[in-house]
Amino acid sequence: MAETERTLDIAVLGAGTVGSQVIRILQEQGEDLAARAGARLQVVKVLVRNPDAPRDVPLDPGLLTTDAAEAIDGRDLVIELIGGIEPARTYVLRALRQGISVVTGNKALLAAHGPELYEAAAASDADLYYEAAVAGAVPVVYGLRESLAGDRVTRVLGIVNGTTNFILDAMATEGASYADALARAQELGFAEADPTADVEGLDAAAKCAILASLAFHTRVGIDDVAVEGITSLTAEDMREAAFFSRAVKLLAIAERRIGEDGHEGVSVRVHPALVPLDHPLASVNGAFNAVVVEGEAAGRLMFYGQGAGGAPTASAVLSDVVAAASHRVHGGHAPRESVYAHLPILDPGSARTRYQMRLRVEDRLGVLSEVANIFARHGVSIQSVHQRDGQGIGQAVIVIATHVAREADLQAVAHALSQSPAVREVASTIRMEGD
């Protein structure tokens, strides 16, 4: 192995699950990483909240500090793994404004303040890298930002939240209720004590915004994403999905399409969807992530792997560290923000999708035609109807799948059904994707 003379000083902000693994791998594989980067990568400071907190990996107490300025100032590279908006934003900007390259895994920060960070990086000729912000070890940021830079991406469809995928999988395979599956995910450490960001779809929405920005060369923020989480799904929804040979997945969907004004725009949404069992995303189980990218020239690509966890996420962080370090040594810089396309964000109501609706209806003459009329009045075409006896006397269950229609029209149908005397309950409305 070639002798590497130069040393780059690194500060790691946050020594939790991922930070500890980053430091461990930097120590254990230091020779290899140095040879790849062209410089020794030396962790000189680790910013922590509590120096006495127990750690997954033993750390030299001399590295620990609670003083952000002491950790950051004058370094060659800062790795931000604190998460959340503040104080992470202040620390990242502090580093970038000094010309210090930053590697971060912070999806919330990027989805809310990406442009500000990119501007600070460009102004001081520093690198901003964030592979770990989306789908852990899965190299989809690199895939979109660099591998597909020569293509025209039309669609990104992904499972980008492992916690919800684990919960949905447990509901489907064990018949568990949402609450029981969530409790199990928490016991096993897949879900946090406060699971809101995951189960309400906010974590996936941040990742969706990042992927859409890269795919369509347009600024997409978290507020542009129409979000629906998994909290209202039931064990019955899972049984129905299996009956129709589908799996329920929380999907992040970003697509380029022609809006209702005739101009091209970007549609971004996160919601549960029924996916056919023979679709590649249907077999992504447990806490795994997968992202399908469709490029006009490349066709369909699939990125798959571990979307969370200390070591897998550290792998993504370290690939960015090697790239940023190599630029310090050999010159060059990370891709700058690419937003030249400036596509408008399309109204979520104009999205085109299909619904499967499960209704409890009166079991009497004419009910089916009353229900069918509601669909027809809103211009929504029915693809299939499946009826079975309901559990109550005089009641039937009807499961209706629609053809592709406008989201707003589908919602209007669901509302009108809920008001109809023929319908006792709209038990569920789940979108259908991937056909």
Using CB under 6 A, count the residues that bind ligand HSE: 7
> Rounded to the nearest whole angstrom, what is the least distance from the CB of residue 154 to ligand HSE in the complex?
25
State yes or no: residue 162 binds ligand HSE (CB under 6 A): yes
**Which three-class secondary structure string do you get for 355-416?**
EEEEEEEECCCCHHHHHHHHHHHCCCCEEEEEEEECCCCCEEEEEEEECCEEHHHHHHHHHH
User: Which among 96-104, 142-150, 158-166, 395-403 is the span making contact with ligand HSE, rule CB under 6 A?
Assistant: 158-166
Measured distance CA(255)–CA(260) in Å, rounded: 15
Q: Which is nearer to ligand HSE, 19 or 162 (CB)?
A: 162
* Contacts of residue 69, Cβ cutoff 8 Å, sequence gap at least 6: 94
Q: Which is nearer to ligand HSE, 107 or 358 (CB)?
A: 107
Token pair 């809920």: residue: 418
Q: 303-322: which residues touch ligand HSE (CB under 6 A)?
A: 307-308
Measured distance CA(30)–CA(191) in Å, rounded: 32
Q: What stretches of 3-61 show up as alpha helix (H) in DSSP?
A: 17-28, 30-37
Q: 70-89: which residues touch ligand HSE (CB under 6 A)?
A: none
Burial category of 163 from C-beta neighbours within 10 Å (exposed 0-12, middle 13-18, buried 19 and up): buried
> Rounded to the nearest whole angstrom, what is the least distance from the CB of residue 236 to ligand HSE in the complex?
25
Tokens of 231: 């909290």
User: Which among 20-28, 155-163, 331-339, 391-399 is the span making contact with ligand HSE, rule CB under 6 A?
Assistant: 155-163
- Amino acid (one-letter) located at 315: S
> Rounded to the nearest whole angstrom, what is the least distance from the CB of residue 197 to ligand HSE in the complex?
7
> Rounded to the nearest whole angstrom, what is the least distance from the CB of residue 206 to ligand HSE in the complex?
8
> Rounded to the nearest whole angstrom, what is the least distance from the CB of residue 112 to ligand HSE in the complex?
15
Q: Which is nearer to ligand HSE, 143 or 307 (CB)?
A: 307
Residue 45 appears among annotated catalytic residues: no
Q: Which is nearer to ligand HSE, 63 or 284 (CB)?
A: 284
x-or-dash string of contact with ligand HSE, 221-250, rule CB under 6 A: ------------------------------
**Which three-class secondary structure string do you get for 89-127?**
HHHHHHHHHCCCEEEECCHHHHHHHHHHHHHHHHHHCCC
**Phi/psi at 131 (5° precision):** -55, -40
Nearest residue to 381 (alpha-carbon basis) of 399, 414, 404, 398: 404
Q: Which is nearer to ligand HSE, 162 or 295 (CB)?
A: 162
Can you tell me which of 20, 161, 213, 218 binds ligand HSE, judged by CB under 6 A? 161
**268, 208 Cβ separation under 8 angstroms:** yes
Q: How many residues does the chain have?
A: 435
User: Which among 57-65, 156-164, 213-221, 353-361 is the span making contact with ligand HSE, rule CB under 6 A?
Assistant: 156-164
Measured distance CA(289)–CA(136) in Å, rounded: 8
Measured distance CA(76)–CA(11) in Å, rounded: 8
> Rounded to the nearest whole angstrom, what is the least distance from the CB of residue 134 to ligand HSE in the complex?
8
Q: Which is nearer to ligand HSE, 38 or 201 (CB)?
A: 201
Q: Which is nearer to ligand HSE, 139 or 307 (CB)?
A: 307
Out of 45, 107, 207, 249, which one is annotated catalytic? 207
User: Which among 157-165, 179-187, 336-344, 377-385 is the span making contact with ligand HSE, rule CB under 6 A?
Assistant: 157-165
Q: Which is nearer to ligand HSE, 4 or 163 (CB)?
A: 163
Q: 248-307: which residues touch ligand HSE (CB under 6 A)?
A: 307
> Rounded to the nearest whole angstrom, what is the least distance from the CB of residue 296 to ligand HSE in the complex?
29
Tokens of 323: 């790239």
Burial annotation 23-54 (CB, 10 A radius, 16+ → b, else e): bbbbeeeeeebbebbbbbbebbbbbbeeeeee
Residue closest to ligand HSE when measured from CB atoms: 163
User: Which among 48-56, 159-167, 323-331, 426-434 is the span making contact with ligand HSE, rule CB under 6 A?
Assistant: 159-167
Measured distance CA(41)–CA(412) in Å, rounded: 58
> Rounded to the nearest whole angstrom, what is the least distance from the CB of residue 304 to ligand HSE in the complex?
14
> Rounded to the nearest whole angstrom, what is the least distance from the CB of residue 182 to ligand HSE in the complex?
12
Q: Which is nearer to ligand HSE, 2 or 193 (CB)?
A: 193
**147, 324 Cβ separation under 8 angstroms:** no
Helices 162-174, 235-243: inter-axial angle, 10-degree rounding: 70
Q: Please give the residue ranges that form the binding site for ligand HSE (CB under 6 A).
A: 161-163, 198, 203, 307-308
- The residues annotated with a catalytic role in the active site are 207
